[in-house]
Structure formats: structure tokens, C-alpha cells
Amino acid sequence: MHSTDDTAPFFGQPVDFEFMSPSDWLEFHCELYDVVADLGLVVGRIDPGVVRLADGRSLGLLQLAQHCHLRERGEWRGLIEAHLTTVTEHLGHTTTSISLFDLRIRLVPDTPADAATFEKFGARPFAEGVVQLLAVDVADAVRCVSADEITRAGWDLDEAWASARLQTELLEQVDEVHEIDLGGASVVHVFDERPFAASMVRIADELIAEVAGIGEHGAIVSIPSRHSVLVHPVDGANAQVAIDALIPITRQLYKQGPGSVSPHLYWWRNGELNWIPTFFEPHADGYLAEAFLPPELQVVVTG
């Protein structure tokens, strides 16, 4: 018999899904089973947090669960049905006409459960823990574009990736850029309702130019969701304060979603992202965290 304690782990609830209560987690999966049956989807099995298709591919459910968590319970079924219908249609052959100018870069977490799907779509590494996919923004969803679709269109795959990055960085605009006072340090928050803000992190210096400048030591950045980029230009004295504050902020935004990308911090220099490993330890008040800075960055931070 399952525990009735609403705070106890339930149905193998993965850590990334702990934003849901155990009872909501169970209801989410019950609804998922019903929708899969109603749609007649051919699946191998449904594991906690992932649908495994009969052909060996997997559909991660983190973003779907995040959307459901933010909506009323009565809306869950419609959200789940729309998501599964859209995703499974896009996994197969598509007749939707696109051009090279429609392509964008979409960032997603590099999760083992999605490895087969990433392989089909020709995902490429972006940063530690993050992969990039080719995508187009359609009326009802952001549709990932497979490598096969690119070659069927007669395009060179490397040219398609170059075009997608160019269109993302040149044509996408952000809604908000503002400074946040962290008490002893500040962070610039870049936000956009469209799903490609995080994909623009490589031009972080341009994104925040009107608010702050990034100097020779680069910046500490995070991309918790596809809608947000957090940037702290490294200035030495205040960098440690910013790092200590960014760790829990980034993790919380990543957990909340929707559109989670990465819970990690990175050292941005000239458009390149270097992972900053962080160790988390459970504590009575939440988590204690320690960031292991690259030696070169450590010298700058500690002076």
C-alpha cells in the first residue's frame, strides 16, 4: 500500500519532477496512461517521467509536467493530448514546407532518457549538460527538425546548422533586459516569451550591452529555461557573491520551468561556455552548495 503522506516519494518520482506533490505526480501519470490509450499510440512502456515508444525512441515528460503543474487540474488532459499528438507527429515524416531562414536553435537538457530521440534528430553538443536541436516555430509548437528532413530537402547539414545559429542570433529579439540586485552584486536577467532566449547565450555581451558590459574576464551565466539567460559580468570583488546567489536561483528556475534547459552555471568568455561544477548536499534549510571554479577564474574571483 502506498503512503498517504503527501510529502513522500510516490511512483518512482525522479528528482527533477519533485515540483509536483506525490498525489499530483500519480494523477499526472494516470492521465497520461488514459491519453496514450485514447490516442492509440504504440508504446513499449511508460516509465516515471518518460514514454518509451515501441521503436526504441523515448519522449521525456519534464516540460509537459511543468506545464501541467502551472495549470488547473481540469486542463491537464488537453495539455497532455496536445503535447503527445504534436510530438509523435513530428517524430515521423513531415510534409510541412520550411526554408533555411525558418531554422532556429533550440536548447534542451542532455538527458539519457532522450538519447535515442537526440540521435534521430542529429542533436549536437552545446554546453555541458545541454544539447542543441534544429527547430522551427510553428503555429502550435516548436517543432524539432531531424537530420533526415534536412537532407531530404537537399540542404547541406552543416550549412543548415550555420543558418539556424545565424537566424537565431540575428533575428530573434528579447522582451526584457534588466538588472537584479542580489545584495552586494547584480545580475542581468534576459527574458523572452518566445522559446529561443537561452539559445542566444553565446552573444550574451550583445544581449546586455545597454545595461552592462562584459570585460576581459568574461561573465558567469546560466540558462535555466529556454526563456531566460542570467548574466553577471566578472568584476572580481563581487563575483563570489553573484555565484553564491545564482546557484539556488538557477536551480529553482530550472525546476519550475517550463522549458527547462540547465541547472548549472557556466563561465562565458568570447561566446564559449565553460561548465562550473557545483556540489549539492541536502541540508535542513534546503541545500548547501559549493562551486568548483576553473583555476583561472578562481584567481580573478579571489583577487
Q: CB-based contacts of 64: which residues, under 8 Å, 6+ apart?
A: 79, 80, 83
Report domain extents, the chain. 15-88, 100-171, 176-302
> Given pLDDT bands bounded at 50, 70 and 90, which one contains residue 174?
very high
Query: Which residues contact residue 18 at a Cβ distance below 8 angstroms, ignoring those fewer than 6 apart?
Result: 255
Residue 55 confidence (pLDDT): 66
Predicted confidence band of residue 139 (pLDDT cuts 50, 70, 90): low
Of 209 and 302, the one with more pLDDT: 209
pLDDT 10s digits, 41-64: 777 778 888 888 776 667 788 888
- Band of the pLDDT at 4, cuts 50, 70, 90? very low
In the chain, the percentage of residues whose pLDDT exceeds 90 is 39
Lowest mean pLDDT among 9-18, 24-33, 195-204: 9-18
pLDDT per position as a tens digit, 259-282: 889 999 999 999 999 999 887 776
192-233 tens-digit pLDDT: 988 899 999 999 999 999 999 999 999 999 999 999 999 999
Mean pLDDT of the chain: 84
Q: Are 86 and 141 in contact (CB under 8 A)?
A: yes
* Whole-structure pTM value: 0.73
Q: Which tops the pLDDT comparison, 209 or 12?
A: 209
Confidence of residue 6 (pLDDT cuts 50, 70, 90): very low
Q: What is the pLDDT of residue 95?
A: 46
Question: Binning pLDDT at 50, 70 and 90, where does residue 89 land?
Answer: low
Q: Could you tell me which of 109, 111, 229, 119 has the C-alpha nearest to residue 168? A: 229
What pLDDT is recorded for position 122?
92
Q: What is the mean pLDDT of residues 22-35?
A: 84
> Which residues are CB-contacts of 299 (< 8 A; sequence separation ≥ 6)?
none
- Report whether pLDDT(140) > 60: no
SS3 226: coil
Average pLDDT over residues 245-263: 87
